[in-house]
Amino acid sequence: MHFEIECAGENILLLSDRALYWPKKKTLLIADVHLGKAEYFRKNGIPVPVGTTKLILFRLDKLISQYPTENIYFIGDLFHNPDFLSNELLSCFIEWRKRTVSVNCFLVTGNHDKVIDNNVITNNLHILSPSHHLSPFDLTHNFEENSSMFQITGHVHPIYRLKKGSIEKIKFPCFVVRPKVLILPAFGEFVGGYKVSPQINQSIYLCCDQDIIGININ
């Protein structure tokens, strides 16, 4: 399911599976996938179960089939630790690219994947600078204070805690929309999050299972 909104004059869809779709450009915008995070923990003696990578790639496949996609822009932290990629992970990634060879993939680098010198990745993705202009948007991993452009960012892993009084509280990953910024939720599995607090001139869209629910606070 999706929710259609308008940003900087463009119609975009907020998807309940934590991604953004831009119909005009047939483009998916995705942030904070953190592929390889579970592996990194395992490598350091902490047993995180297998399955996150497969699930992430499966979800990507599903999005591509649901929404006609020609381009995917990963806005930072696609890989949790590019120095540390196992063969298993790389082969999954190569296979995924073989399946999605018709889709152009771009990576706007983030803090976790600042430098990538792995051939497998560079052969399968276009690596862009930390800030990339995709008119009329600026795609940048982390929000930049003094910018006149409308930014689409990630990094924050926003989570909204819906509270009814002090009794009922439920947490949801969410999209945060402000006049000049759109913050994407983290797409990955086994990623933590940071709470977003209510503000004026900010809309929050909760990713609630298959649904997406908007909360406007003015």
Partner 1 sequence: MAVKNLGAKWFKLRGWKAFPFQKEVWKALSENKSGLLHATTGSGKTYAVWLGALACWSQVVSEQHSHKKMLQSKVPLTVLWITPMRALSADTYSALKTPLEELKLDWTIGIRTGDTSSYQKTKIINSPPSALVTTPESLSLLLTRSESLNNFAHLKLIVVDEWHELIGNKRGVLLQLALARLRKISPNVLTWGMSATLANLDYAFDVLNPTSNQRCIIQAETRRKIVIDTLFPDKRTRLSYYGHLGLMMLPYVLQEIERYSCSLIFTNTRAQCEMWYQALLEKKPEWAGEIALHHSSLDADARQWVEAAVKSGKLRAVICTSSLDLGVDFSPVEKVFQIGSPKSLGRLLQRAGRSGHSPGKVSRITIVPTYHLEYLEAAAVQLAIKFNRVEPRLSLEKPYDVLVQHMVSTAMSNGFVSEIFFQEVKSTYAYRNLTFAEWNWCIDFLHRGGDSLTAYPEYQRIKLDENNYWQLANANFGKRHLANIGTIVSESQVSVRYWKRGGSKKTLGSIEESFAARLKPGDHFILGGNLLEFVKIYQMIAYVRKGHGKKSYVPRWNGGRLSLSSEVSGAMLNQLELATQAIYKGPEMRFLKALLEIQQYVSAIPSSDRLLIEIWQSREGSHAFLYPFAGRGVHSGLAHLIAFRLATASENTFAMSVNDYGFELLSFKTIDWSTNITHAMFDCDNLVNDIVSSLNAGETAKRRFREIAQISGLIFSNYQGSYKTARQLQASSSLFFEVFSQFDPNNRLLKQAEIEVLNQELEISRLGDALKKIQTMSLNFKIIQHPTPFSFPLVFERFQETLSTEKLTDRVQRMLESIQNDYPDRYYQ
86 interacts with partner 1 by CB under 8 A:
yes
Minimal distance, residue 211 CB to partner 1, in Å: 5
- Angle between helix 87-99 and helix 52-66 axes, rounded to 10 deg: 10
139 vs 174, which CB is nearer to partner 1?
Answer: 174
Residue 28 · residue 64 · CB < 8 Å = yes
Q: Which two tokens stand for residue 206?
A: 């909760």
Q: Which distant-in-sequence residues (6+ apart) come within 8 Å of 96 by Cβ?
A: 57, 60, 61
Minimal distance, residue 102 CB to partner 1, in Å: 30
| 35-43, 94-102, 135-143, 180-188 -> range binding partner 1 (CB under 8 A) | 35-43
Question: What separation, in Å, do the N-terminal and C-terminal C-alpha atoms of the chain show?
Answer: 25
Size of the site for partner 1 (CB under 8 A): 41
195 interacts with partner 1 by CB under 8 A:
no
| 49-57, 116-124, 126-134, 140-148 -> range binding partner 1 (CB under 8 A) | 49-57
Q: Which residue of 6, 24, 49, 145 would you call a contact of partner 1, by CB under 8 A?
A: 49
Q: Where are the beta strands (DSSP E) in 33-76?
A: 71-75
138 vs 189, which CB is nearer to partner 1?
Answer: 189
Rounded Cα distance, 185 and 142, in Å = 13
Q: Which two tokens stand for residue 2?
A: 């999706």
211 interacts with partner 1 by CB under 8 A:
yes
115 interacts with partner 1 by CB under 8 A:
no
215 interacts with partner 1 by CB under 8 A:
yes
161 interacts with partner 1 by CB under 8 A:
no
Residue 19 · residue 30 · CB < 8 Å = yes
For the sheet with 10-15, list strands across it: 2-7, 10-15, 19-22, 27-31, 71-75, 104-108, 126-128
Q: State the residues that interact with partner 1 by CB under 8 A.
A: 38-52, 86, 88, 162-170, 189-192, 206, 208-211, 213-218
